[in-house]
Every structure is written in structure tokens, then in C-alpha cells.
Structure 1
Amino acid sequence: MSTTTYAVLVLIGILFFVAMDLGKRDKGNDVITLISDDDDQEEHS
């Protein structure tokens, strides 16, 4: 059972990593832009 549990955890980790990577590619730029804009506004104001 320990081997099966380990395999499941590895698969979940890989899926999570892939999902995060795809999320960064799709929305990462937008999020970074929004954060940068907010920081700039705070500094100027």
C-alpha cells in the first residue's frame, strides 16, 4: 500500500506542477502586470 500511496502522491504533485505552470503561462503575465501597476501607483501617490 505504501508504494501505491507514494505513486498517487507523485502523480498529484506532477499534475499540480503542470497546472501551476499552465496557470503562469496563461495568467501569470496579467497578474504580474497588475501587481506592478499597483506598486507603481502606491510609490507615485
Structure 2
Amino acid sequence: MFLTDRIREVTLHIYRDAHVFFRKRMQVFFFFFLRRGTQFF
């Protein structure tokens, strides 16, 4: 029982960190995409 709880806790931590990192990366990518789009038009 302890092992499954630990695995679930670690998985949640990894998922949350990946989610935050992915969101930040997407914001940066979207910002650069907008900058380049305004340069083109």
C-alpha cells in the first residue's frame, strides 16, 4: 500500500512539473510565433 501511494505521489509531482514547464514553453513559443507573424505581415 505504501509503495503504490509513493508511486502515485511521484507521478503527480512529475506530471505537475511537466505541465508547468510545457505551459511556459508554449507561452514562449507562442510569443515568438506572434512576433514573427507581425514581421511577415
TM-score class, shorter-chain normalisation, is: 0.5 to 0.7
Cα distance in 2 for partners of 1:31, 1:18 equals: 20
Cα distance in 1 for partners of 2:14, 2:28 equals: 21
Length, aligned pairs only: 35
Deviates more, 1:13-22 or 1:23-32: 23-32
Structure 1, unaligned runs of 5 or more: 38-45
Corresponding residue of 2:9: 3
How far has the Cα of 1:32 moved from its partner?
A: 7.4
**Letter paired with 1:7:** H
**Letter paired with 2:34:** G
Query: RMSD value over aligned CA atoms?
Result: 2.0
Runs of 4+ in 1 over 4 A off after TM superposition: 31-34
Structure 2, unaligned runs of 5 or more: 1-6
